[in-house]
């Protein structure tokens, strides 16, 4: 059995700057991110916990760990997806996030679903 094909989670991210909640004069920049988690493996799996590393353009880093996502621990059958929206607050107009989801397959195998780094930026700042 090929472990990589049995246990595979695809993560897609879309980000939005939340202008009406941001106060740039006070170094308050709010970003929303919508994440789609899809089980591309062959075994059903449940998302147990999340781990995020959030970095602003000054190099300030926040680390966030917790159970599930938006209060849920989705259980995904092969081919099934779960989509949610959450947010974060930065002190700068540009930053990044990366992290992972800790998963457990129905057969008891634990594995991480990596979330590659993605950029948080207010419109028209990055070209």
Residue 45 makes CB contacts below 8 A (sequence gap 6+) with 7, 9, 39, 75, 76, 103, 104, 105, 106, 111
Position 8 scores a pLDDT of 96
| Class for the domain spanning 3-121 | mainly beta
Instruction: Specify which residues 49 forms β-bridges with.
Output: 67, 102
- pLDDT tens digits for range 5-44: 899 999 999 999 999 999 999 999 999 999 999 999 999 9
Return the SS3 of 127.
coil
Position 1 scores a pLDDT of 43
């Amino acid at each position: 059995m090929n472990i990589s094909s049995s246990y595979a989670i695809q993560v897609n991210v879309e980000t939005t700057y939340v202008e009406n909640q941001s106060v740039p004069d006070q170094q308050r920049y709010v970003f929303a991110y919508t994440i789609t988690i899809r089980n591309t493996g062959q075994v059903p799996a449940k998302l147990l916990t999340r781990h995020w590393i959030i970095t602003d353009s000054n190099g300030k880093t926040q680390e966030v760990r917790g159970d599930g996502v938006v209060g849920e621990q989705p259980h995904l059958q092969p081919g099934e997806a779960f989509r949610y929206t959450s947010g974060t607050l930065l002190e700068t107009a540009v930053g990044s996030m990366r992290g992972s989801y800790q998963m457990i397959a129905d057969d008891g195998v634990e594995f991480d679903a990596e979330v590659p780094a993605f950029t948080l930026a207010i419109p028209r700042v990055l070209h």
